[in-house]
Homo-oligomer: A and B are copies of this chain.
Amino acid sequence: MPMAKKKPSKKAVRRSTTKKVAKKAAKKAAKKTTKKKVIKRTASAHKKTAKKKSVRKVARKATTKASKKSITKRAAPKKRIIAGKMVYAFGKKNEADRSMKALVGGKGANLADMTSIGLPVPPGFTITTDTCAAYYKNNKKLPKGLMAEVAKHLISLEKQRGKKFGDETDPLLVSVRSGAAVSMPGMMDTILNLGLNDKSVKGLATKTGNERFAYDAYRRLINMFGDVVMGVDHHHFEAAFDTIKAKYNVNDDTDVPAEGLKELCDAYKAVYAKHVGAKFPQSPVKQLELAINAVFRSWNADKAVSYRRIEGMTGLNGTAVNVQTMVFGNMGDDCGTGVAFTRNPSTGENKFYGEFLINAQGEDVVAGIRTPLHVDEMPKWNNAIFKQLIGIKKILEDHYGDMQDIEFTIEQGELFMLQTRTGKRTGLAAVNIACDMVREKRITEKEALLRIPAGDLVQLLLPYFDPQAKEANKALATGLPASPGASVGHPAFTATEAVERADKGEKVILVRKETSPEDVDGMHSAVGILTSTGGMTSHAAVVARGWGKCCVAGASAVHINECEGTFTVNGQTFGRGDMISIDGSTGEVFAGSMPTITPDGISGNFAKIMKWADKYRTMGVRTNADSPADAQRAREFGAQGIGLTRTEHMFFEGDRITAMREMILAETTPDREIALGKLLPFQREDFVGIFTAMHGLPVTIRLLDPPLHEFLPHEPDAIQRVATNQGVSVDVVRKQVALLHESNPMMGHRGCRLAITYPEILSMQVRAIVEAVIECSNNKIKAMPEIMIPLVGTHQELSILRKQAQGVIDTVKKEQGFKKKLNIKIGTMIEIPRAALTANEIAEHADFFSFGTNDLTQLAFGYSRDDINTFLPDYLARDILPEDPFQSLDQTGVGQLVEMGFTKGRQTKPDLKIGICGEHGGDPKSVHYCHKVGLDYVSCSPFRVPIARLAAAQAAIMDE
């Protein structure tokens, strides 16, 4: 069913949902959705009511409808908001719906929503966010009439559950939770078992025949209530528990017998009385009143306030309070608790997938003492419940139109749904589920595209470790997940060594403190790269990502002894003979060899998703590639051209570096020109290769960018070697190294500044490009080069160099008697803040702009990306930065420069082609931003091309 005809209002609703999904996806980047995760979730324990029959009926009804419609048409009818009404029920009477999130909060809306589609949700009620606002207006006192309204709803709950609040024989117990319209850390979490007191706990014990259970519930209430509501430090309760455990000579909480828990309740009450200065309240209504007060208070807790400030949240009037009847999964063997996904979250297979524990509550699962059972085993235990769950799977998918992650509890043979939410999934599962759901006509192609966190696609291209093998191994050390993938090999400690050993067929992992352009050969030969310093945008990380090669960077626990050819981690030493495995997706380093799994590449559902993405996106996607092989691969991944070819990477191989060094050591322009003459054929050959691979597609070539010292060695031995090679004295080399030394090379003599002082370098490079174009043209290969001049900060630089380049183009054309039109564009990178500020002037001389957001970020923040790790962790931990600005573009600050550069550039030339070639070009959030700004294309490393394609499509769809 096509989406195009939807009304804007609904679309807007959906868009905001999708945005959140995208946001979540970005946040979880480093986290994993593995099997382990499933059992680490808190599942709360609850108690019975809703009637099976009606549930089934509703479920059936919903199913019939659902098969005809896409989820978007199934928004529940709007409930009425009644002025002055402070409490909304869910359960038999369902007074709220999901459109009322602002009033009843996210959790309240969700509970009402689940109830409305007939799921067996323990009944309860929600006190509105308006009431919270009224509380603050009322000088932090509950507004008049609230507790009376609450009392009415309590009576309704008592009727529905057939129990009485505070009853001495069969008490109704409730949970109390906060819940604003947007989920927010820092607010009060949960109080369970509210309603118990010295008398009702006995009733509960008798009624359930489980004294231990009853007193355990009571001691939890006293603890939580004391801690969360009254502010008694948790460790006071811990101390009391320790005393009891010592008395009964047990280690685990669970081993304390019922008698001990009874004593513990008394001890807890004493702790409470001592620190609160009053007895633990025996009146359940008083308990509830105090808990409601605490929830409201927590809305203005420091952490919640600062979270709202950081996230820029305004317009919220407070938190709601959810009061829900309790159900318990630990009252006997006809009880249980579990979590499940409606489809397989790892593969996407359309099969109910989950785990459960018999006679347990959520906390037991967390404690990890017992191994849960797979849901496939549930029929053997209770087939009716299993069937009910399968029905619920369908209801949920019909209603939400997506795979759900649910929590449930079975109390004495009766199923209760405690939670449902969109399930997290692997990249593979996301792709498969989205495609399946389009096939099932549950969602449209566009919806399918919006469903897949673009960043997760990388998982579908790169090898990964067998999850079971990984689970069995403990990581030696963890660094930064600098370039995803998995690789296994023997450590090599220098680039030369890596090349030599790799040439002999050995699989090596290059292990270095940090890498520099000199190491590029060795990095290329290695199957993976491990560094002990450097960040996500260090040289190693950037180069590795460009190649799609696995890299772990900045693993600071790894101490390298290059001379001895060993490294040490926590006292364990590894040498050239040892095997190591590194996971570039997680940053983990393992001892030994672990089996890897290699995905299929772009085929099947993945290919289908890519086809859809290309259909809807409006922004181009290019790649950053420095070699014909990379270019070819990127083209296979769908790149529509090259957005950045770094010519300097070409200068490191074999004879080239010799000629390059000869050029650098030259003392006169003619000598430099001779050396450049030797480099020319290499450059030409490189360009012919790349043009051939990109036949018919544009190729942006950045002229020499790094400072020249990067091409000279710095260690005495290497200097000696270079001197010998170059036939000059060691002193000459040493002097040149010293001359080229800079305090801050990032801001030194590099980029177009080199071309200004050594025009002959630019001339050689442009000549190589033109000669290559002509050679290609003669071989019927369509080369479309775009010459990009880096590090421009003033329009004069570009004007001078453009003129020079144009002169070379004309000369070569004339020399070769080439008659056809040579359409070679000349443009610049916008990577210096001043270039963005004066983009109107610079555009006069540019055919295109490409934002170099790596350097732009460095300069806008004044952060050297090589040094940022000294303070970045603190900055992230203290929320000074929401995320690493080298990973995801800082839209607030750096973004202003991007927008300025864009607007001013287009002001001068309305048809100026503008792209981005920084690392951000492969970050989904940044791709969305680039679309919003209006860029023509993004360019990213080959392995991120599919990500960018999808992200661009998502941005276009969200922008419709």
A interface residues, Cβ below 8 angstroms from B: 310, 742-749, 753, 756-757, 791, 793-794, 796-797, 800, 831-834, 837-838, 841, 855, 858-864, 866-867, 870-871, 874-875, 878-881, 890, 892-894, 896-897
Contact check, A745 vs B743: say whether CB atoms are below 8 A apart. Answer: yes
Nearest-CB residue, chain B, relative to A893 = B834
Nearest-CB residue, chain B, relative to A890 = B834
Contacts of A748 in B (CB 8 A): 864, 867, 870
Nearest-CB residue, chain B, relative to A514 = B743
Contact check, A897 vs B833: say whether CB atoms are below 8 A apart. Answer: yes
Contacts of A310 in B (CB 8 A): 796
**A742-B866, A746-B864, A834-B894 given. 17 additional CB < 8 A pairs?**
A310-B796, A742-B867, A743-B866, A745-B864, A745-B867, A747-B747, A747-B867, A748-B870, A793-B893, A794-B881, A833-B893, A833-B897, A837-B897, A838-B893, A855-B862, A859-B859, A859-B862
5 contacts between A and B (CB under 8 A): A743-B864, A744-B745, A747-B747, A747-B867, A756-B874
Contacts of A871 in B (CB 8 A): 749, 753, 756-757
Contact check, A833 vs B862: say whether CB atoms are below 8 A apart. Answer: yes
Q: How far is the CB of A323 from chain B (nearest CB, A)?
A: 36
Nearest-CB residue, chain B, relative to A534 = B743
Q: How far is the CB of A838 from chain B (nearest CB, A)?
A: 5
Q: How far is the CB of A341 from chain B (nearest CB, A)?
A: 37
Contact check, A797 vs B745: say whether CB atoms are below 8 A apart. Answer: no
- Copy number in the complex reads 2
Contacts of A793 in B (CB 8 A): 861-863, 893
Contacts of A838 in B (CB 8 A): 892-893
Q: How far is the CB of A618 from chain B (nearest CB, A)?
A: 28
Nearest-CB residue, chain B, relative to A858 = B747
Contact check, B800 vs A878: say whether CB atoms are below 8 A apart. Answer: yes
Q: How far is the CB of A415 from chain B (nearest CB, A)?
A: 46
A747's partner among B841, B862, B878 (CB-CB below 8 A) is B862
Contacts of A859 in B (CB 8 A): 833, 859-860, 862
Contacts of A892 in B (CB 8 A): 837-838, 841
Nearest-CB residue, chain B, relative to A791 = B862
Contact check, A870 vs B745: say whether CB atoms are below 8 A apart. Answer: no
Contacts of A756 in B (CB 8 A): 871, 874-875, 878, 880
Contacts of A866 in B (CB 8 A): 742-744
Contacts of A894 in B (CB 8 A): 834
Contacts of A878 in B (CB 8 A): 756, 796, 800
A880's partner among B743, B747, B794, B858 (CB-CB below 8 A) is B794
Cα separation A878 to B801 with both chains bound (whole Å): 12
Question: Of residues A743, A862, A879, A896, which shows the largest number of chain B Cβ atoms within 10 Å of its Cβ?
Answer: A862
Contacts of A796 in B (CB 8 A): 310, 878-881
Cα separation A746 to B861 with both chains bound (whole Å): 12
Q: How far is the CB of A712 from chain B (nearest CB, A)?
A: 15
Q: How far is the CB of A762 from chain B (nearest CB, A)?
A: 13
Cα separation A527 to B744 with both chains bound (whole Å): 30
Q: How far is the CB of A815 from chain B (nearest CB, A)?
A: 24
Contacts of A881 in B (CB 8 A): 794, 796
Cα separation A600 to B746 with both chains bound (whole Å): 46
Contacts of A832 in B (CB 8 A): 860-862
Q: How far is the CB of A842 from chain B (nearest CB, A)?
A: 11
Question: Of residues A855, A860, A867, which shows the largest number of chain B Cβ atoms within 10 Å of its Cβ?
Answer: A867
Contact check, A749 vs B862: say whether CB atoms are below 8 A apart. Answer: no
Q: How far is the CB of A891 from chain B (nearest CB, A)?
A: 11
Contacts of A879 in B (CB 8 A): 796
Q: How far is the CB of A300 from chain B (nearest CB, A)?
A: 17
Q: How far is the CB of A759 from chain B (nearest CB, A)?
A: 10
Contact check, A797 vs B880: say whether CB atoms are below 8 A apart. Answer: yes
Q: How far is the CB of A740 from chain B (nearest CB, A)?
A: 8
Q: How far is the CB of A518 from chain B (nearest CB, A)?
A: 15
Cα separation A743 to B858 with both chains bound (whole Å): 13
